[in-house]
């Protein structure tokens, strides 16, 4: 964890009260924890705007496993980029549909490009990339 | 402005250092100001997720003024909803294209519906809604 | 897959050319596939705006496994909501940090609330929810 | 407007039916118009991810006009960047609060930097940038 700093922050009492209600509703039991999470959110956003920023994220794909050769194609693509793919998770949603989550690591531009290539594959119905951490931050 | 509270926040020193760099790059000269802005951002997001939350926002439209009757139609729509439209701004972007910003006020669901109706009007090329303030917060 | 419709769409030639370049850069080999993906993106967005819309999504968490009792707490929370959590994936990012992806299913409001509860847990550094499919669509 | 292309798109009938309901609810009377808008949305997103892409957008600021020198400071900043600011609109929200919309034009990175500088100014409570058009597209 490293060293901890304790800082003072000046906030209008009204605004603080509304913030306390909001974070309580979200499940926070500790105000500093909420502040730290907001800070990390800003840092992750900033890192993912920089094409060369190192990030970790996940891309979630929904696809129809009946589409001919799709599973093979997705597997091939993953092996071509294995050094950017840390792990995958597969869920059988229903008779036709699979959901697959891939955890990606690399420069923001590479991660985004790889996610786009997966999402654009014929048979993949929908996909979304969630960049979750800046490596610098870990 | 009302009363000011001074609170203590515990943050890992590493994280704080990165945050200080980020906000300096964005032009903040005061850390508390950055914290207050993050808090307001969260409150506005929360208000705009609640369909009945009172919000203020702006919708920016780009349209081709050559499309027959479009200006008249947009004006008519605005008068039908005049109680939700505080003001508008018009810019002539180039020979063909106009940009119009409308400042909207109302419940999040109404504001969103009105923005969608404007954006979907034939001839409007693109539009985007930016919800900027929760009324509760003002 | 069901039945296929073939529709005609009128697009300014300039706009179409730019769109074709964009989707080629993203890896699409087929224009209809790109249109279908855009449609699904809109439907997922609409479903996730409706608090009662049925959705599937994933929440990606990064946390420090050294935080006392955190793994136990996250596991307990997951069991309390097991009927909304389809599966999870765990990755050891480095000496301190874990990444966990949970695939969630339920009404948009429930999925969002569960994601917020997980993200706000003390020790979870960052988290992001990606809603990926509307059940109606599957 | 230029030349018009007419293309064929193959879509699963189920998906098309859901899409038609969605766009009708949003106010579209014409399916091609909805497709063109989605395409422009993608192009604007892509342009705004490229730091050097030329864009037009608006930044909406809410601020307390009682904060000493704030109006002067915002005006000074605007004059320093007058070549990126096409026009502004001012609304008096209530006794304390002003809303100001600035229409910005320039490279995505410049527009973003200018928006950040305005938002981070002491006294500005909240601000949001909406990038609305890629110049290439106009």
Answer whether residue C20 is part of any domain. yes
Residues D35 and D70 in one domain: no
A17, A75, A123, C58, D38 from A97: Cα distances, Å = 45, 17, 10, 16, 25
CATH of residue D80's domain is: 3.30.70.1150
pLDDT confidence band for C136 (50 / 70 / 90)? low
Residues C62 and C114 in one domain: yes
Residues B44 and B98 in one domain: no
Answer whether residue B63 is part of any domain. yes
pLDDT confidence band for C67 (50 / 70 / 90)? confident
pLDDT at C123: 87
Inter-chain residue contact A40 with C126, CB threshold 8 Å: yes
Residues B67 and B102 in one domain: yes
Answer whether residue C68 is part of any domain. yes
Per the structure block, which two tokens stand in for A43?
A: 């840092």
pLDDT by residue (tens digit) across D8-25? 999 999 999 999 999 999
Query: Is there a contact between B128 and B60 (Cβ–Cβ < 8 Å)?
Result: yes
Inter-chain residue contact D19 with C39, CB threshold 8 Å: yes
Residues C74 and C130 in one domain: yes
Q: Domain of residue A22: give its range.
A: 13-49
> What is the percent of chain B with per-residue pLDDT over 90, rounded to a whole number?
51
Residues C105 and C76 in one domain: yes
Residue A137 has pLDDT above 70, yes or no: no
What ipTM was estimated for this complex? 0.85
Residues D65 and D125 in one domain: yes
Residue C102 has pLDDT above 90, yes or no: yes
pLDDT at D1: 53
Q: Chain A: give the shortest CA distance to residue C53, in Å.
A: 17
**Direct distance between the N- and C-terminal alpha carbons of chain B, in angstroms, rounded to an integer:** 10
Q: What is the DSSP string of chain D?
A: ---EEEEEEEEEHHHHHHHHHHHHHHT-S-HHHHHHHHHHHHHHHHHHHSTT-EEEEEEEEEEETTSTTHHHHHHHHHHHTGGGEEEEEEEE-SSSEEEEEEEEEEEHHHHHHHHHHHHTSTTEEEEEEEEEEEGGG-
Average pLDDT in the B16-31 region? 93
Q: Chain C: give the shortest CA distance to residue A73, in Å.
A: 13
Residue A62 is nearest to which of C33, C86, C133, comparing CB atoms?
C133
pLDDT at B94: 85
Residue D28 has pLDDT above 60, yes or no: yes
Give kind and range of the element (H or E) at residue C2. none
Residues D81 and D117 in one domain: yes
pLDDT confidence band for B59 (50 / 70 / 90)? very high
Residues C108 and C76 in one domain: yes
Answer whether residue C4 is part of any domain. no
Q: What is chain D's mean pLDDT, rounded?
A: 89
pLDDT by residue (tens digit) across B81-110? 878 898 989 898 888 888 999 999 999 999
pLDDT at A1: 53
Residues C63 and C24 in one domain: no
Q: How many domains does chain B have?
A: 2
Q: Which of A2, A3, A11, A31 to mutate to test the interface with B (most CBs of B within 10 A)?
A: A11
pLDDT at A33: 92
Residues in A touching C40 (Cβ below 8 Å)? 125-126
Answer whether residue B3 is part of any domain. no
Answer whether residue B5 is part of any domain. no
pTM: 0.82
Question: What value does the CA radius of gyration of chain D take, rounded to a whole number of Å?
Answer: 19
Residues in C touching D21 (Cβ below 8 Å)? none
Q: What is chain A's mean pLDDT, rounded?
A: 89
Answer whether residue C2 is part of any domain. no
Residues B108 and B85 in one domain: yes
Residues D84 and D33 in one domain: no
CA distance D56 to D63: 23
């Amino acid at each position: 964890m490293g060293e901890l700093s304790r800082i003072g922050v000046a906030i209008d009492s009204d605004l603080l009260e509304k913030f306390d209600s909001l974070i309580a509703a979200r499940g926070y039991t500790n105000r500093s924890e909420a502040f730290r999470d907001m800070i990390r959110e800003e840092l992750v956003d900033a890192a993912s705007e920089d094409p060369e920023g190192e990030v970790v994220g996940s891309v979630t794909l929904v696809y129809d496993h009946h589409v001919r050769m799709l599973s093979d194609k997705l597997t091939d693509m993953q092996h071509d980029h294995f050094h950017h793919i840390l792990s995958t998770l597969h869920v059988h949603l229903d008779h036709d549909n699979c959901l697959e989550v891939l955890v990606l690591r690399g420069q923001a531009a590479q991660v985004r490009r790889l996610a786009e290539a997966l999402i654009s594959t014929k048979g993949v119905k929908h996909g979304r990339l969630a960049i979750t951490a800046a490596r610098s931050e870990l």
